[in-house]
Amino acid sequence: MYNARIAMLHADLGIAAGYAQRSGLPLQIEPEELVDAGKDMFGRDQKLTPLALAAWQKMQLAAADQGVTLLLVSAFRSVDYQAQLIRKKLDAGRTLEDIMQFNAAPGFSEHHTGRAVDIACPDAEPLQEEFEKTIAFNWLKVNAKDFGFVMSYPRDHRHAISYEPWHWCFQLDQ
Ligand SMILES: [Zn+2]
């Protein structure tokens, strides 16, 4: 059923069959349970799985204790939301090829799992590569694994998503 829903959304957006093979990205399943994760840095309500939220809050506090501010940009995003996001960009005149360099196809974004977070800090533009030059990023590189967070899209990785130093996924509750 999930697969059929994804296939329909792909057809609707003009994404050719075989995306999983082409992109090298695994299918990501929406979780059964999501909890309120508070507001992101733009004041939007965010959700995570209960374990991912607990880990994120613990990590944020530990960083703050060492004078490092971690800000939440984005957490759970539904498959339907991902489809709308791509639709909006298509409607704005961008090509599918261009969009897919930065957005996974519906069903293939780690944000569907409720375990992925995009993280920013006060001294860099959110969702930009310059995040890798911040103390927040350096702190994450050393400490995030202790809280179960892994950087999903490092430089030179094998799948279709470009380098995203801000994107971290909680891996302990799979
Ligand atoms: Zn992300």
Q: What is the pLDDT of residues 70-79, one digit of tens each?
A: 999 999 999 9
Confidence (pLDDT) at 160: 67
Residues 36 and 72 in one domain: yes
Helix then strand then coil, in percent of the chain rounded to 5, is 40, 15, 45
Residues 156 and 124 in one domain: yes
Band of the pLDDT at 173, cuts 50, 70, 90? low
**CA 127–ligand 1 middle distance (angstroms):** 8
Residues 100 and 149 in one domain: no
**CA 145–ligand 1 middle distance (angstroms):** 17
Indicate whether 174 pLDDT > 50. no
**CA 164–ligand 1 middle distance (angstroms):** 7
- Segment 4-19 shows an average pLDDT of 95
Residues 66 and 91 in one domain: no
**CA 1–ligand 1 middle distance (angstroms):** 25
**CA 14–ligand 1 middle distance (angstroms):** 23
Instruction: Write down the pTM of the prediction.
Output: 0.92
Q: How many domains does the chain have?
A: 2
Q: Cα separation of 50 and 103, whole Å?
A: 25
Residues 174 and 90 in one domain: no
Indicate whether 158 pLDDT > 80. no
Residue 120 maps to which CATH number?
3.30.1380.10
**CA 147–ligand 1 middle distance (angstroms):** 18
Which among 99, 110, 91 is positioned nearest to 152, based on CA atoms? 110
Q: What percentage of the chain has pLDDT greater than the value 70?
A: 97
More confident residue, 159 or 68: 68
- Segment 26-45 shows an average pLDDT of 96
